[in-house]
A and B are shown apart, each in its own frame.
Chain A
């Protein structure tokens, strides 16, 4: 119950103001099509430099939570998911809006998000300290395999092609080695003076997530056919609360599935929303109504994608393995303040850890309150033209990456990586594993070198890295994640081929 001791810290004027800013800003950013939660959090990182670590994390955490929930606004009113996590919400939410029930759909989505989100954060509160203590048993070989597991899980599960996902992870791991080697001081892959100090993680994150979005907006050209927002009729919040209470099945399924999926590194909110929607449909006696504007579809999908947020931070805060691309960006936010997840975080910075986690709990409630009242307004912001969004995001990316170290080199790195990522994405490569490789690369290398030194003084490299229960479990998990994804990819291809033949 240590978290209760730090509860009051969330309500200091500065912390609470940042929580409000993060929540309202996140709702607006989430409602804006084209601005993913990951990109929103990456663009916010430069604004946390001048803040205390806990304050910076409060801002980023609030933005993470509310961008996922805010994405429901454009999913329901525009049929454009604000984030991949809101794809399932469009299935019934937009039909409800077309039937004149937009306000009801929005209210249900925010209530379900808040309930799912609170449950997810409670899991984070109770699981994290236990796992952090367990993490003490990890030696260099285990941490090396864990870092590799983080890259391979996201590389294989988050990408359409397993090989290209893993290759993206390899590119990220290589990029992490650029600069001076920590032990020998040797220069590695420094082919431009800007790379002397290695690749700055924040500049890289901004470039890899923001610039491809900007170029994608450019690629749409001068398209004037902006999405039409459906007008929101008034609907009683009390009735929405009563309806949520009457739908415990959909709420329970969404919350449970979101929480479980959040704990699995790399799976993410998109899968959580879709799986929860599918399961809620299967278990519902009114399954025929799904897809025709049924409220259970919205409740299950939104409860799931927000329940996923808290658990996705469990592997991050305990083992340095981000559970989602946005969690990877949050890891970058921790590292710039010199804080390392795991026991260091809970033993040496409990105030930072618990204030951050508690703020996420309060943030869920604030998100719900503001969501219920400002959803209609956020929908108008969702209509901001792509031309404005592209120029704004580019400007923020340039200023944000420059402000990291007041270095033009970081801006060049940001732009180069961003342009490279856009073209790589066009050919099936993925940003998430590349970012994971970049972030986990130094952890993997440091533990590999340390492990090699221990191994050379003891049993040798092979036995040290390949034997022992924990090493074997981690290796099996790596192999299983790759094998499972490869099998799913093959199955999907066969299904697609059959559909093609039928056409």
Chain B
């Protein structure tokens, strides 16, 4: 889909959200105390708001030329992977333990996006081996070499 054909609404929503953040930053910067601590944020937020509303106005009148936006096909492709990644990061890494969660997430993502057929035993064997090798490397690098202590909950 060309940029010209993109639904204007997408750009309006995106630039509207950025403008809302800009307004919020400006409001906090100009209302919070002590003034000295918010001097620099005031300066930035003023420019932020001006540029954000410029972008928003351009989106409203349909003059936005840059940005490919999102289409249903892209969203459909990325949604499962993004959902797995977010669950892994925001819940499983702490809830299940870092290495366990990483192993599960890695294997699921690999299986979700691997073009190899799902009904072939060979594909699943290959995915299992790749996951095992990756986890061994990660454990060696982070636990042994860098000695990073991970939050060990149910599993390690």
- Taking beta carbons and an 8 Å cutoff, which residues of A are in contact with B? 46-47, 49-50, 159-161, 163-164, 166-167, 170-171, 173-174, 177, 181, 183-184, 186, 188-189, 214-215, 217-226, 385-388, 390-392, 394-396, 398-399, 402-403, 406, 408, 411-412, 415, 419, 423-429, 444-445, 448-449, 452, 493
Contacts and interface: CB of A to CB of B under 8 A. Distances in A.
A388 B138 CA distance: 14
Contact of B44 (A174, A387, A412): A174
Given A171-B18, A223-B115, 10 more contacts: A161-B67, A163-B58, A171-B21, A177-B41, A181-B37, A184-B37, A222-B115, A402-B98, A408-B151, A412-B89
21 contacts: A50-B146, A167-B51, A173-B44, A177-B44, A186-B32, A186-B33, A188-B38, A189-B28, A215-B82, A218-B85, A221-B77, A394-B88, A395-B102, A395-B134, A395-B138, A399-B148, A408-B94, A426-B68, A427-B67, A428-B66, A448-B43
Contact of B113 (A171, A387, A425): A387
A224 B123 CA distance: 13
B114 A427 contact: no
B48 A167 contact: yes
A164 B69 contact: no
Contacts of B40: 177, 444-445, 448-449
A161 B65 contact: yes
B36 A390 contact: no
A475 to B, nearest CB: 15
Contact of A163 (B22, B55, B148): B55
Contacts of B151: 408
Contacts of A46: 146
Given A160-B66, A427-B14, A174 B25 contact: yes
Contacts of A406: 148-150
Contact of A394 (B25, B70, B98, B105): B105
Interface of B: 10-11, 14-15, 18, 21-22, 25, 28, 32-34, 36-41, 43-45, 47-48, 51-52, 54-55, 58, 64-70, 74, 76-78, 80-82, 85-86, 88-90, 93-94, 98, 102, 105-106, 109-110, 112-116, 130, 134, 138, 141-142, 146-151
A403 B25 contact: no
A392 B20 CA distance: 35
8 A-B pairs with the lowest CB-CB distances in the bound complex, closest first: A224-B115, A428-B67, A428-B66, A218-B81, A387-B113, A186-B37, A221-B77, A181-B37
A388 B86 contact: no
Contacts of A50: 146-147
A399 B115 contact: no
Nearest to B48: A170
Contacts of A445: 40
Contact of B138 (A161, A215, A386, A399): A399
A188 B55 contact: no
Contacts of B33: 186
B81 A170 contact: no
Contact of A390 (B28, B69, B81): B81
Contact of B36 (A170, A184, A226, A391): A184
Contacts of A223: 115
Given A161-B65, A189-B25, A399-B142, A219 B77 contact: yes
A428 B68 CA distance: 7
A452 B38 CA distance: 13
A393 to B, nearest CB: 10
B150 A402 contact: yes
Residue among A163, A164, A223 having the largest count of chain B Cβ atoms under 10 Å: A164
Given A218-B77, A395-B134, A170 B51 contact: yes
A219 B146 contact: no
A402 B148 contact: yes
Given A221-B77, A415-B89, A448-B39, A427 B148 contact: no
A79 B146 CA distance: 37
A387 B114 contact: yes
Contacts of B34: 184, 186
B43 A408 contact: no
A448 to B, nearest CB: 5
A419 B113 contact: no
Contact of A423 (B14, B48, B98, B138): B14
A420 to B, nearest CB: 10
Contacts of A385: 114-115
A425 B14 CA distance: 11
